[in-house]
Amino acid sequence: MPPPPSLSRRALLGSALGLGAYGLSGCAGLTERVSSTSRGSRDTLTFQTYGTDVEGNIYDVLARRFEEQNRGVTVDVTVVPFAEASTGIDAGLVSGTAPDIFRVDYPTMGVYASTGQLLDLEDSLDELAGDSSKAFMDAVTDRGRVFGIPQHVDTSALVYRPDVLRDAGITSVPDRPEDAWSWEEFAQVAATLRDAAPAGSSAFAVNWQALGAFRWLNFLFQAGGHVYDEDRTRSLLTSASATRALDFTKSFFDEGLVPQTSSTKAATYPDALFTSGSLAMLYAGNFLLPSFADTIKDRFEYAVTYLPRDRRRASELGGNALVATKGATNPELASEFLTFMAAPAQMKDFCEASVLLPTRDSLLSQELDFAVAADLMPVYADQVTTIEPRDVADVTTATFAEVNLSLANELETCFLSGRGTADTLQALAEQVDESAYLNRQDAS
């Protein structure tokens, strides 16, 4: 017997279509408490996004550009904190007040696409699909239909302080992808830095806090493992590869290589530790480079190298899509706006200003004029090439948002409370198997 699906956010959204047809009178209280979203009108698009000030500003610039090309049309851009974005969207979808357009990260997109909440973009993105890798288009596709534009991608690389490494006697850092440190070499470097670190400092930290728990999968993929089998109906998290990945990452805490406050459920992000000078290295996404430039200024030098490798190189699919809600007042206008945002000119301007990587092959092959840290971006651009379609499939299932929460909970218990690798992976596998049951339901 398959395990019963749990009552979840996915179940709530799945019921929202039916609730909307009855006016949602029973959900009015919920809407008033947590949702400030609103639908547009015939000539007005409402657009909710999150992100840095730079991202908010460039979205506003592009919205005004769309208005100039479409006289009489207004695009209302609302920027909300990342932590509040999904809550507002979920409540807006349940109440029928969701914005026409919203920004969503790839691991969360599956829950909206699979529950019928998004506008099917049909064939309007054929040109984009011809200029983007299969992996990026797969991230916005559900059961063969495209529900969003993969606007940009970001990923992780290893940011480090050359001065701290030199002082510890580490004089060689990989400057070519083929020379990326192996896990064993990286562990030796980290131990050397730990032994040389002054009190209150650590060798490195990993960016897997909060909704970033899925970045642990970088280690799983590097070890040759995967979350699901190829048809995503069964967990593979008790495999030898998963055991190797968890043993390796657990050793970061057991051997004092990372701060104990940097686990998957930490309340703060470790980039603040790096900018304050108390870390020698940091697994960091390229979206942090503008804030590094602004915060670090010339206090110390920093550079970037490739993520350590094991059986293969791997990096996460970070970044965001833009989607339209199925209930948009003017779906044709919403579709036109998404097509406009996916055009080369808009994608290039957005990525250069925000220091993010485009998803169009024609732009990835160009030398873009990034606002800051242009010298560091080639390493990130190379890391993106290590993302494989099966990696993307693992993190864009309809149920991955719940798997991501399970990762944060179970890894925290393993890293900080002493639970063993086998017990942790078994607990994770049982929860992933439950989600796989729902994946099978969707596929049937």
Instruction: Delineate the domains of the chain, giving CATH numbers in brackets.
Output: 44-154+318-387 (3.40.190.10), 156-314+397-442 (3.40.190.10)
Give the pLDDT score at 402: 87
Is residue 100 exposed (0-12), middle (13-18) or buried (19+ Cβ within 10 Å)?
A: buried
Q: Are 5 and 438 in contact (CB under 8 A)?
A: yes
Angstrom distances, CA of residue 140 to CA of 183, 227, 329:
32, 19, 22
Give the pLDDT score at 12: 61
| Each residue's pLDDT tens digit, 138-167 | 999 998 999 999 999 999 999 999 999 999
Single pTM value for the model: 0.87
What is the dihedral sign for C-alpha 317, 322, 325, 331?
negative
CA 277 from chain centre, in angstroms, equals 26
Give the pLDDT score at 320: 96
State what percent of residues in the chain have pLDDT above 70. Answer: 90
Give the pLDDT score at 442: 60
Angstrom distances, CA of residue 129 to CA of 82, 154, 279, 347, 358:
28, 19, 41, 14, 13
Give the pLDDT score at 18: 45
Instruction: Look over the chain and give the mean of its residue pLDDT values, rounded to a whole number.
Output: 90
318-324 and 145-146: which strand pairing?
unpaired
What span, in angstroms and rounded, lies between the C-alpha atoms of 433 and 403?
10
Give the pLDDT score at 29: 27
Give the pLDDT score at 37: 66
Give the pLDDT score at 346: 98
What span, in angstroms and rounded, lies between the C-alpha atoms of 311 and 218?
12
What span, in angstroms and rounded, lies between the C-alpha atoms of 307 and 107?
21
What span, in angstroms and rounded, lies between the C-alpha atoms of 177 and 100?
42
The side-by-side arrangement of strands in the sheet containing 101-105 is: 74-79, 44-49, 101-105, 318-324, 149-154, 357-358
What span, in angstroms and rounded, lies between the C-alpha atoms of 346 and 340?
7
What are 118's strand-pairing partners?
A: 325
Q: Are 96 and 327 in contact (CB under 8 A)?
A: yes
Widest pairwise Cα distance in the chain = 69
Q: Three-class SS of residue 197? A: coil
What's the count of helices (H) and strands (E) in the chain, helices before strands?
20, 12
Among 402, 383, 238, CA closest to 316: 383
- Please list the ranges in the chain whose pLDDT falls under 70: 1-37, 439-444
Which residues are CB-neighbours of 166 under 8 A, at least 6 positions away?
Answer: none
Angstrom distances, CA of residue 423 to CA of 161, 222, 238:
37, 22, 10
